[in-house]
């Protein structure tokens, strides 16, 4: 199975596991994430980071996607982050990918994010950014990574991921 296939399977499982998903959908998503992470680990062990020159632009994006979503495996994510940093310097990955993976790793480690790429939906049902380190310099750091200003990005996120509908308590039985 290719990296792109794994990414597509993950995206489909994510959609299926979106609230109000059943526990079985969440389990299926974790299984797909584990399989994708295992495959990416094998590729890295054999070839190093799967950058543009090894797997093409689409494959490189898929590799980054898999690393980005390997949240059950923070040690692997940290390893992938170091490899993506090297890949950016070598022109094999993008600064945007590095920014997103950096923030994801920091959130998982309980640290504030640097680039404002990560949002939580859990408590409010509405996308809320995780804490940001030195918010006054956020847009400067974002610009250095080729990201749009945070206010523009936040509008995009809230458009793509509207608030979750609260469950209704009305009975539909006749």
Q: Report if residue 130 sits inside a domain.
A: no
109 lies in a domain? no
With respect to residue 128, please indicate whether it lies within any of the assigned structural domains.
Answer: no
Q: Which two tokens stand for residue 13?
A: 């499982």
The confidence score (pLDDT) of residue 114 equals: 98
Domain assignment of residue 138, yes or no: no
Instruction: Indicate the pLDDT class of residue 13, thresholds 50, 70 and 90.
Output: confident
Q: Give a yes or no: residue 30 inside a domain.
A: yes
Per-residue pLDDT tens over the stretch 81-124: 999 999 999 999 999 999 999 999 999 999 999 999 999 987 77
User: Total structural domains in the chain?
Assistant: 1
Query: Which residue range is the domain that position 36 belongs to?
Result: 3-93
For the record, the structure tokens of 47 come out as 């070839």
Q: Which residue has the tokens 């991921």?
A: 161
> How much is the pLDDT for 15?
85
Q: If we measure between CA atoms, which residue out of 120, 114, 102 comes closest to residue 139?
A: 114
Q: Where are the alpha helices (DSSP H) in the chain?
A: 3-17, 23-47, 52-68, 74-89, 95-108, 138-144, 150-160
Distance, in Å, from the CA atom of 88 to the CA atom of 142, rounded to the nearest integer, reads: 15
- Per the domain annotation, does 123 fall within a domain? no
pLDDT digit string (tens) for 143-161? 999 999 999 999 999 998 8
- Flag whether 171 is in a domain: no
Q: What are phi and psi of 129, to 5 degrees?
A: -65, 145
Question: What's the pLDDT band for 169 if we cut at 50, 70, 90?
Answer: very low
Q: Which residues, listed in sequence order, are joined to residue 113 by a DSSP beta bridge?
A: 132
Q: What is the structure's pLDDT at 166?
A: 55
Residue 65 has pLDDT above 60, yes or no: yes
């Amino acid at each position: 199975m290719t990296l792109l296939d794994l990414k597509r399977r993950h995206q489909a499982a994510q959609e299926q596991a979106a609230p109000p998903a059943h526990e079985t959908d969440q389990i299926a998503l974790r299984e797909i994430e584990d399989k994708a992470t295992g495959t990416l680990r094998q590729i890295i062990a054999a070839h190093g980071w799967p950058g543009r020159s090894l797997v093409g632009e689409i494959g490189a994006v898929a590799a980054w996607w898999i690393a980005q979503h390997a949240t059950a495996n923070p040690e692997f994510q940290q390893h992938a982050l170091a490899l993506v940093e090297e890949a950016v310097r070598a022109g094999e990955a993008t600064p945007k990918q590095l920014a997103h993976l950096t923030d994801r790793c920091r959130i998982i480690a309980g640290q504030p994010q640097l680039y404002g790429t990560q949002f939580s939906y859990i408590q409010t049902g509405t996308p809320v950014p995780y804490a940001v380190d030195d918010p006054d310099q956020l847009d400067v750091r974002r610009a250095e990574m080729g990201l749009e200003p945070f206010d523009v990005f936040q509008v995009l996120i809230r458009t793509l991921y509207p608030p979750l509908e609260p469950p209704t308590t009305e009975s539909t039985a006749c």
